[in-house]
Amino acid sequence: MPLPPAQRGMYFEEFEVGQKIKTTSRTVTEHDIVAFASLTGDFNQIHVDAEYAKGAPFGQRVAHGMLGLSFGLGFAVQTGIMEGTVLAFREIVEWKFSKPIFIGDTIHTELEVLETKALPRLGGGAVIIKAEIKNQKGETLQSGKWNALMMSRPKSLSTD
């Protein structure tokens, strides 16, 4: 009989208000922006036309705001805290796009648990996470709060 897949994620009960996690980072490339434009159909010139972007407010192409948000969530998942234990990404409670993400920026996400709320009827609880996407200079480019529904620890693994 095969073994079940290993679970790395944190159960709802393991999240604590004030917990902080810094994710891995990656450098945003032109390919990332073009691929995202292809997936979404958003070929706005500010993202894909270098000559047009030279005359725009930022003076160069910028990544789609939603690409930055997607990277931020992907970084959070890569930490392993949600692997096998996230039930649903419930809500973007708030989100602010403060500064542009440029081609060549190396970005990461800093996470902090702000609130937890048990939801036993759903088999877990809500975890409100503050997320800040920052660049290599430590500047906050995007920030906000996410609400994730995390699985409760199974009774068979309970420490009670």
Distance CA 129, CA 111 (A): 6
Q: Give the chain's largest Cα–Cα span.
A: 63
Distance CA 57, CA 53 (A): 8
**Domain at 12-155, CATH from 3.40.50.880, 3.40.250.10, 3.90.1210.10, 3.10.129.10:** 3.10.129.10
For the chain, the domains span 12-155
The residue-averaged pLDDT of 136-143 equals 98
Distance CA 155, CA 160 (A): 9
Statement: residue 5 has pLDDT above 90: no
Distance CA 160, CA 149 (A): 22
pLDDT in the model for residue 8: 79
Average pLDDT value over all residues in the chain:
94
pLDDT in the model for residue 7: 58
The residue-averaged pLDDT of 86-105 equals 96
Q: Find how far residue 140's CA is from the centre of its chain.
A: 14
The residue-averaged pLDDT of 59-84 equals 96
pLDDT in the model for residue 3: 47
The residue-averaged pLDDT of 83-99 equals 95
Distance CA 57, CA 140 (A): 19
The residue-averaged pLDDT of 43-63 equals 97
What percentage of the chain exceeds 90 in pLDDT? 90
The residue-averaged pLDDT of 35-60 equals 97
The residue-averaged pLDDT of 29-53 equals 98
pLDDT band at 70 (very low <50, low <70, confident <90, very high): very high
